[in-house]
């Protein structure tokens, strides 16, 4: 079945540091790929998505590129801020599915120090 693997956490960075969070997936066909973010005390919200190979999703300074050859969708940001402290989830949804049922990774907690 479909699965998503995220790097182990938590991750602690200083403000303005470079961020990479690794995500790899296993799926048949051409899934859509997502990064969701959960700020403290809130539900999840979409950060960015990509729906086909070589697409780059971007939002709020974060980027991720859909790499079919390596089955990866790594999240990057050039300069993190304290306000980026949150839990980040990588997820996929099968394109051929009749609905947008997501399979999530385990999530990784990011803490950014001033």
Partner 1 sequence: DVKVTQSSRYLVKRTGEKVFLECVQDMDHENMFWYRQDPGLGLRLIYFSYDVKMKEKGDIPEGYSVSREKKERFSLILESASTNQTSMYLCASSFGTGRGAGANVLTFGAGSRLTVL
For residue 19, give the nearest of 27, 29, 9 by alpha carbon.
9
User: Binding-site residue total for partner 1 (CB under 8 A)?
Assistant: 28
If the CB atoms of residues 32 and 110 are measured against partner 1, the closer one turns out to be 32
If the CB atoms of residues 23 and 80 are measured against partner 1, the closer one turns out to be 23
Q: What is the 3-state secondary structure (H, E, C) of the chain?
A: CCEEEECCCCEEEECCCCEEECEEEECCCCCEEEEEEECCCCCEEEEEEECCCCCEEEECCEEEECECCCCECCEEECCCCHHHCEEEEEEEECCCCCCCCCEECCCEEEEEEC
Which x/- pattern over 47-66 shows residues binding partner 1 (rule: CB under 8 A)? --x-x---------------
Residues between 10 and 49 that touch partner 1 (CB under 8 A): 31-32, 34, 36, 41-46, 49
Judged by CB under 8 A, does residue 83 bind partner 1? no
Among 25, 84, 94, 112, binds partner 1 (CB under 8 A): 94
Residues making contact with partner 1 (CB under 8 A) = 31-32, 34, 36, 41-46, 49, 51, 89, 93-107
């Amino acid at each position: 079945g479909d699965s998503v693997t995220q790097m182990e956490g938590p991750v602690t960075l200083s403000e303005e540091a470079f961020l990479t969070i690794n995500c790899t997936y296993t799926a048949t066909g051409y899934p859509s790929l997502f990064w969701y973010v959960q700020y403290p005390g809130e539900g999840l919200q979409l950060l960015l998505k990509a729906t086909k190979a070589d697409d780059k999703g971007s939002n709020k300074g974060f980027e991720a590129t859909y790499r079919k050859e390596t089955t990866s969708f790594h999240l990057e940001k050039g300069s993190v801020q304290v306000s980026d402290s949150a839990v980040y989830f990588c997820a996929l949804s099968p394109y051929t599915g009749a609905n947008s049922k997501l399979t999530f990774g385990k999530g990784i907690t990011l803490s950014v120090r001033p």
